[in-house]
Structure 1
Amino acid sequence: MTQTKDKAMNTLAKHLGVKIAELSPKRCIEALNGIISKTDSLSSGESDSTKQQELNEHMKDKTYLVGEEMTVADLVMINKVSGYMKGLSKEERWSKNNFSRWYDLIQNSTDQEILSGLGVEKIKLAQPTQKSASTANPKASGEPKEKKKKEEKPKKEKAAKEAAVTVITPAMIDIRVGIIVSAEKHPDADSLYVEQIDVGEEQPRTVVSGLVKYMTLDELIGRKVLVVCNLKPASMRGVKSFAMVLCTSKDDKVEFVEPHLTSVPGDRAYFEGFSGIAPEPLLNPKKKIWETIQPGLFTNGSGEAGWYDADKKFHKLCVGSDGFVCKSKSITDGIMK
């Protein structure tokens, strides 16, 4: 086990640099001691439902094993349990939902080179499909074997096409600091503005926003805002919009969600507990990632922006290495979109 830990530590130090210094290997290993006792039976192939359930419960309110970012602890653990996870059926993985969520996050957030170095093979976590009575009990059918095989083939193909379960997190959303460099009324829509927003790229992005009712052009130009940059481009009354300005609203009042004054165009915003994870290049509309996360986006009682997870834990939206929290100027408990 000591060699496994050393290998994981060296690999992580090579690829994450200073992050390893933020949480020392000694502290990681100390935090793992209690968890390791629960996983000994897993890596050895033993079946202990009590320990399995304890480990699943341990991960209920955690994104990572230690702290708010992925550390050596997560790599040590995924190395230890990868064989166990590979041997589970879809149903068994699904029953350990908290642990499977963590496993899927780590395997998809880690460079393939690191996973290969640790001997970890990626596992496709898919939701189990219901088996029909005839499939579950082949003997109950009196049909010839040849016909049975022909019927089973389409079922296998259908099962193979079942979409893998995607653990949707707010880290998938690419939110960046931007500055509105220009804005004008939409030529064909009285309620829309067409803005040019600098998000740290070679050219500003064209963004269409329904803010005419709430803000004047003078209030837009030069404003530092937060921009969702990986939504699929959409045509709005003949003008294609390549991003979305993040606002908060309450009682027919709308305000920008604003980054810290020291931030610059292109700075990425992140939610507490989900930092250091690269966002999706483009959100796949079929996966409903934005639609899943957006209902949890709010400002809290202090006007701080963030996301409430399924357990009602509030993850603040921050920007910069100092973790400055993004805020609304005056709207508290407002909906963000």
Structure 2
Amino acid sequence: MAAVLRIPEKTATEVVLVHKLTKSDAKLETGSELVLEAAGEKVDAPNSIIKSLVSKSDKASLLGADKAEQALVEEWLSYTNQSLRGVGKKEIVSNIEKKLNDHLKTNTYFVNNHLTIVDIVIFGLLYSHSKNIKVTSAPNTLRWFDLVQNTVVKANNLTEDFPLVEINLDDVPEPAAPVVAAKKGDKKGAEAKKGAEAKKDNKKPEAAPVAAAAPSEAKGPVEGGKPKKEKKVKAKKEPAPAAVETDQPVVSRIDIRVGYIKSCKKHEGADSLYVEEIDIGEEEPRTIVSGLVRWYPVEEMENRWVLVLANLKPASMRGVKSFGMVLCASAADGSAVELLGPVDPTKVKAGDRVYIEGMEGEPEKTLNPKKKYWETVQPELKTNDDLIALYGDKPLLIRTASGEAVQCKVATVKNGGIK
């Protein structure tokens, strides 16, 4: 059966661009949702579809030349999910003018200064927003956009589907002259500051004001032949600078741990919910509510190893507060939902953390719902033909006390989404 790529009308421009660029043999159709069907499998995450199209073409090198580069590509693709897909115009413009423009200030492309799939995906996502890339506020983004449209779109004869955007880079504003802070008694610094301000106002510096009188002259008569003591004026405290968010991989912000279900019972206020007490390596077990009554009898829930998303914001579920979520794989047709667990439970302990090789980092204490970290990561989580849990094309690994990496799997659900 030939592969079919279904794309909702006037969406997923970046997927269309990759399909055209790779000359994929997948039949392009309009559908109600984005999905790639090939060899009996369905892929519905945009980045997974893109990587599949590229890996099966003669442009597979766009995914990264080595493991280190592939990890950088994954980071940027995760960023596109979080900050460029499904967000409003205001957030798109903010990313164009800040994150993207700042990065491209010292880089020709996004990864290692050569073209990768990251450039093509971001170009596709920004194509319909090209009028918002202003030379005055985002000159670096605009320069890069013009480079990609010429080296990718024009060079591969794709202008019929992606007409070239007219760009004028002649009006890039000159950078403002730096203002040198003057130290006490530093005439050069003071003169440089004054000169910069004068240049900014496009006029000559005004004559310096008459110097203020010395304290003894300004205060008038003195008492007892001694000048009055001046009151010390406390320097105004400047606010501390805001914390800068690091560029660590988004997936590394998610805290997934090995858990052991010590007890499980039916939720008193909901027939479809279980209330579990799960040991995840803390002083006390965590209470977690799961909608798994349909899929597991209570005796199969107790005394088993699972994977727990541990840094979700606690949520009340029918009157019971849940402090996390157990991860499950779901069959594409909805016929099965299965708990994830370690391939070899004898090698793990409660609290062992899950990581992705080459994408490590310190997880957030509690995920900020506004940042949409989990929503960014979740579409890339899946199981493969061997029932192994993956993030993109990399396995989820458990870091054990011995240093051995243990993979995660499910019982029977192949190519299922994980959530």
Change (3 A) 1:215 1:63: same
Encode CA deviations 1:68-119: one digit per residue, 9 max, x unaligned. Answer: xxxxxxxxxxxxxxxxxxxx9554257542259xxxxxxxxxxxxxxxxxxx
Partner of 2:286: 205
Does 2:313 match 1:232? Answer: yes
Does 2:394 match 1:315? Answer: yes
Partner of 1:299: 383
Aligned partner letter, 1:335: G
Partner of 2:76: none
Partner of 1:330: 412
Q: Displacement, 1:61?
A: 1.9
Q: Aligned to 1:97, what secondary structure does the other structure show?
A: coil
Q: Aligned to 1:170, what secondary structure does the other structure show?
A: helix
Q: Provide the identity percentage.
A: 43
Q: Displacement, 1:284?
A: 1.4
Encode CA deviations 1:155-212: one digit per residue, 9 max, x unaligned. Answer: xxxxx99x96855432211111111111111111111111110001000101010001
TM-score (norm 2): 0.44
8 Å contact from structure 1 (residues 177, 199) kept in 2: yes
Partner of 2:70: 61
Map residues 239-258 of structure 1 onto 2, 5 A cutoff: 239-250=320-331, 251=333, 252-258=335-341
Counterpart pick for 1:195 among 273, 276, 280: 276
TM-score (norm 1): 0.54
Q: Displacement, 1:330?
A: 1.6
Q: Aligned to 1:267, what secondary structure does the other structure show?
A: coil
Q: 2-side partners of 1:89 and 1:328: how far apart?
A: 42
8 Å contact from structure 1 (residues 57, 98) kept in 2: no
Partner of 1:157: none
Q: 1-side partners of 2:312 and 2:137: how far apart?
A: 44
Partner of 2:349: 264
Q: Aligned to 2:376, what secondary structure does the other structure show?
A: helix
Change (3 A) 1:235 1:188: same
Q: Aligned to 1:206, what secondary structure does the other structure show?
A: strand
Encode CA deviations 1:112-167: one digit per residue, 9 max, x unaligned. Answer: xxxxxxxxxxxxxxxxx8548699789xxxxxxxxx99xxxxxxxxxx99x96855
Aligned partner letter, 2:336: K
Aligned partner letter, 1:234: A
Q: 1-side partners of 2:257 and 2:172: how far apart?
A: 54
Partner of 2:166: none
Partner of 1:185: 266
Q: 2-side partners of 1:178 and 1:322: how far apart?
A: 18
Q: 2-side partners of 1:177 and 1:134: how far apart?
A: 46
Q: Aligned to 2:358, what secondary structure does the other structure show?
A: coil
Aligned partner letter, 2:415: D
Change (3 A) 1:257 1:137: closer
Partner of 2:105: 92
Q: 2-side partners of 1:89 and 1:268: how far apart?
A: 33
Of Structure 1 and Structure 2, which has the larger fraction of its residues in helix?
1
Q: 2-side partners of 1:325 and 1:185: how far apart?
A: 30
8 Å contact from structure 1 (residues 168, 292) kept in 2: no
8 Å contact from structure 1 (residues 178, 266) kept in 2: yes
Q: Displacement, 1:324?
A: 1.4
Q: Count the aligned residue pairs.
A: 208
Q: Aligned to 1:195, what secondary structure does the other structure show?
A: strand
Q: 1-side partners of 2:107 and 2:248: how far apart?
A: 12
Q: 1-side partners of 2:376 and 2:312: how far apart?
A: 13
Larger radius of gyration: 2
Q: 2-side partners of 1:282 and 1:177: how far apart?
A: 17
